[in-house]
Chains A and B, each alone.
Chain A
Amino acid sequence: MWAMIVKEFRQLKRDRRTLAMLVVLPVLLLVIFGYAAKFEVSNIPTIVVGPQAEQVASQLQGPFQVVEVDPGAGKSFVESRLRDGKAVVGLVTGQRPLLALMDGTQLFAAQAAEGAFAHMARAAEASGVTPPAVTVQILFDPKLMSSWIMIPGLTGLILLFIGTLITSLGIVRERQSGTIEQLAVMPFRPWDVIFGKIVPYLLLASLDLTVIVGVGMLLFGVPFVGSVATFGLGALLFLLVTLGMGVLISTVSQNQGQAIQLAIMFVVPQVLMSGLIFPISSMAEAVRWIAYVLPLSWYIEISRGVMLKDTPVAALWEPLVVLAGMAVVVLGLAMLRFRRDLAPSARHGRVTAAQPEPVSP
């Protein structure tokens, strides 16, 4: 048995990627997720409209963070801003009771806002002041059903899984079995091979997406109130990013085990830091930026916006452009690396001077 133990440690010592996963990654993840994994919401973006907007805004305290005050606007303006994701709470003044509109898709923020209103009322009563009457109206997810929030995000998680893990495994399997060498000799252009590999997964993921959304609507009553085309565009861009990541992972993995390791490293942070479970606004500022470099964060903004709030495409330009940019960068890198694997001589032509390369045979 001792010999087995020693052998395992020897192999582990040489397998630096696994060693990093075992030692460095847990510490790194603990530190990052420790700051990111919070349900408490300390800042609730709030807009105040109506004749007394300035006065009410000046009286609001934390967690409400006033981001916009417009005395000339009314309820429909607030609904529009909430739909576009510009604020979570909108107070409409000039009526009794005061109307507080909340974005129900921001589950924890809406719950925190409800709690904050109750706390403010109790505090006013305790100091002998009559608290202002507030009527709360929750939009988009009136019953604050967590399944309504989770399912649009889960569609992204499934696309992420198919796009990254399944694609990378498919390509690495070609490398391991030696068929990729045969592909390189066949009259395929590199992009024929890349797109030939990813298009089936793209179609399968699209089918999966349709099924998941359908099941979510049928079983959990999740609404789909927005544009199918906008949702499809967001999903397509997100899929292209994840498929590109899958190809990239495959180009730096020699076997399926390595591909799985890397895919896990790519997927796990997205589960915990994309806003799927923990609100991005609750994350410590030092790690919040990580959420914005994760494609799932942007996809969730689109899927929740379209499915639950009918957010128009114009209001989603930012996540759509970010995902498009990510798709171009990731797919471009994947193409370059994959092309190098498939046709190394095509770019270089003949070589006349000796050029040693630090690669093992």
Chain B
Amino acid sequence: MAVLAETRGVAKHFGALSAVDSVDLAVSSGEVVGLLGSNGAGKTTLIRLLLGLLRPSGGETLLFGALPSMSTRRRVGYVPQTLGLYDDMTVQENWTFTAAAFGSARPALPESVRGSKDELVGSLPLGLQRRVAFAVAFSHNPELLVLDEPTSGVGPLSRARLWQDIRDSAEHGTGVLVSTHNMEEAEQCDRLVVMVDGRVAAEGAVADVIGSRTVVQVTCDDWRRAFAVLDADGLVVQVQGELLRVPGSPRQVEDLLAGHDLPAAVATVPANLEEAFVSVVSRGPRP
């Protein structure tokens, strides 16, 4: 697979703040790379560096093997968090403008947004706006799609549709870099780069990021009170139905609950991505 976009030790400092620090990243054709991180982790800054919208403070970014430029960006489709659509123009007008900008031969509007072609983008629900933004970004058949939190604020159905589109694009050979802090979305990526405080804290396939991490699964009749006890002890507790999942050792958890007259069954189970993410974030960036 050809490497489409690459950063080598790229850094961006805003005064004393390191928004991005020594990040190596590569996106190849046909793969979906997820940038996973909390708000402020440096995902958007890294994307803007990659596209040449920000000047790096150190390191370098390459698009299609060259510095970001007009000719390399021509091969990129980009959906910023703000969507980059003109609210006061119709779907068709936005589509036509982008096609003209990229010199595309006036492609037809995709079926998914054709029904709204004469409506002003600003009057559409957010889910449909994001779908339009995605369609517009894909209108010139880019080799690389860069999507900055593309499903932020949209409902589950729209999100599922957008991810279907992303996966379809990748299957046709497009490289996709997508930032998210949604674990369900991250699980759909081929590879994840977890960012913490501007640095890469973990990377690899979902299984690689989770690694051998485990959590303690708690079964307790009075699970609500057990939750309160564990939470009060500073543990990050996840609720799955009536089951509780917490990091730590089974013995420690069992003793803690027993101390509050809460008999419980505990078991060690493999962590999910969200639990692994919390663990990675708690540990901080790699040295």
Residue from A187, A359, A361 within 8 A of B74 (CB atoms): A187
Q: Is A356 an interface residue (CB 8 A)?
A: yes
Contact A357 B53 (CB under 8 A): no
Number of interface residues of A (CB under 8 A): 29
A347 nearest in chain B by CB position: B55
Knowing A349-B67, A354-B13, the reply to whether A181 touches B102 (Cβ < 8 A) is: no
Contact B57 A354 (CB under 8 A): yes
Q: Is A343 an interface residue (CB 8 A)?
A: yes
Contact A361 B56 (CB under 8 A): no
Contact B55 A345 (CB under 8 A): yes
Kindly identify, within residues 157 to 187 of chain A, every residue whose CB is under 8 Å from any CB belonging to chain B: 177-179, 181-182, 184-187
Knowing A179-B86, A349-B67, A359-B14, the reply to whether A187 touches B103 (Cβ < 8 A) is: yes
Number of interface residues of B (CB under 8 A): 41
A361 nearest in chain B by CB position: B14
Give the shortest distance, in Å, between A177 (CB) and chain B (any CB). Answer: 7
Q: Is A20 an interface residue (CB 8 A)?
A: no
Report Cα–Cα, A338/B270, bound state, in Å. Answer: 52
Contact A179 B54 (CB under 8 A): no
Q: Is B16 an interface residue (CB 8 A)?
A: yes
Which residues does chain B contribute within 8 Å of A185, judged by CB atoms?
51, 53, 73, 76, 78, 84
Q: Is B105 an interface residue (CB 8 A)?
A: no
Kindly supply a per-residue 1/0 record for chain B positions 91-105, scoring 1 wherever the CB is within 8 Å of any chain A CB and 0 otherwise. 000000010011100
B101 nearest in chain A by CB position: A186
Residue from B15, B54, B56, B69 within 8 A of A360 (CB atoms): B15
Contact B15 A359 (CB under 8 A): yes
Give the shortest distance, in Å, between B85 (CB) and chain A (any CB). Answer: 7
Knowing A179-B84, A348-B55, the reply to whether A356 touches B13 (Cβ < 8 A) is: yes
Report Cα–Cα, A188/B19, bound state, in Å. Answer: 28
Which residues does chain B contribute within 8 Å of A343, judged by CB atoms?
52, 70
Report Cα–Cα, A181/B133, bound state, in Å. Answer: 13
Report Cα–Cα, A355/B59, bound state, in Å. Answer: 10
Q: Is B38 an interface residue (CB 8 A)?
A: no
Knowing A352-B58, A354-B11, A357-B15, the reply to whether A345 touches B52 (Cβ < 8 A) is: yes
Give the shortest distance, in Å, between A360 (CB) and chain B (any CB). Answer: 6
Which residues does chain B contribute within 8 Å of A13, judged by CB atoms?
none
Contact A346 B71 (CB under 8 A): no
Query: Which B residues are closer than 8 A to A by beta carbons?
Result: 11, 13-17, 19, 45, 48, 51-61, 67-71, 73-74, 76, 78, 80-87, 98, 101-103
- A–B pairs, 8, beta carbons within 8 Å: A179-B82, A185-B53, A344-B55, A346-B70, A356-B14, A356-B15, A361-B14, A361-B17
